[in-house]
Amino acid sequence: MTDVYRKVSALVVRDGCVLTITASRHPDIYCMPGGPAVEGESHEATLDRELAAELGTGLAGLTYVDRFEAVSGIDGALVLTELYRVELTGEPAAVQPGRALRWVHPFDQDVEVSTSVHGVLHHAIGAGLLHAALDQPPHPA
């Protein structure tokens, strides 16, 4: 039986790039900020808690984008992601030891991102959420 991992993720966009953070157990792979909901917790509360823990900032606003399914390239688990476009209350920073942030351009080829991030980037381009990225080349991290 395949393991299923449910998470709520934040799509933070700036200058055509998407904010990613290294995975907690795989520091060479970048994923979307966010995490699993605690039982009875709303998606908004989950994102507010996770963004404070991972990025040291709060949630200023959110808009539902879509639900994504991807098979994890790490352990083969099915990852079900509820994705929200979010605005932050402050400047994000990697506050947990051993984690790093990176703004990923949709056409970056020098960064390893999770299968979920690949799906999000393709969807975001199709939905016009990363229109600025189509007009500019990837930038150095």
Boundaries of domain holding 92 = 4-132
The DSSP element (H or E) to which 45 belongs, if any, is helix 43-55
> pLDDT 10s digit of each residue in the chain, 141 long?
678 889 999 999 988 889 999 988 788 899 999 999 899 999 999 999 999 999 999 999 999 998 988 887 677 788 889 999 999 999 999 999 999 999 988 878 888 888 788 888 877 777 777 765 555 555 554
Q: Which DSSP category does 76 fall into?
A: -
Cα 128 to chain centroid, rounded: 17
Does residue 139 form part of some domain? no
Residue-level pLDDT at 141: 47
CATH number of domain containing 110:
3.90.79.10
Does residue 61 form part of some domain? yes
In sign, the C-alpha dihedral spanning 56, 70, 68, 82 is negative
Does residue 105 form part of some domain? yes
Q: Could you tell me if 92 and 55 are in contact, meaning their C-beta atoms sit under 8 angstroms apart? A: yes
Residues 6+ apart with CB under 8 A from 61: 86, 87
Does residue 137 form part of some domain? no
**Cβ count within 10 A of residue 104:** 22
Residue-level pLDDT at 135: 57
Does residue 141 form part of some domain? no
What is the rounded CA–CA span in Å between residue 83 and residue 112? Answer: 20
Our count of domains for the chain comes to 1
Give strand ranges (E) for 12-137.
13-14, 17-22, 30-31, 34-35, 59-71, 78-88, 101-104
Does residue 115 form part of some domain? yes
What is the rounded CA–CA span in Å between residue 50 and residue 46? Answer: 6
Q: Which DSSP category does 22 fall into?
A: E
Reported pTM: 0.86
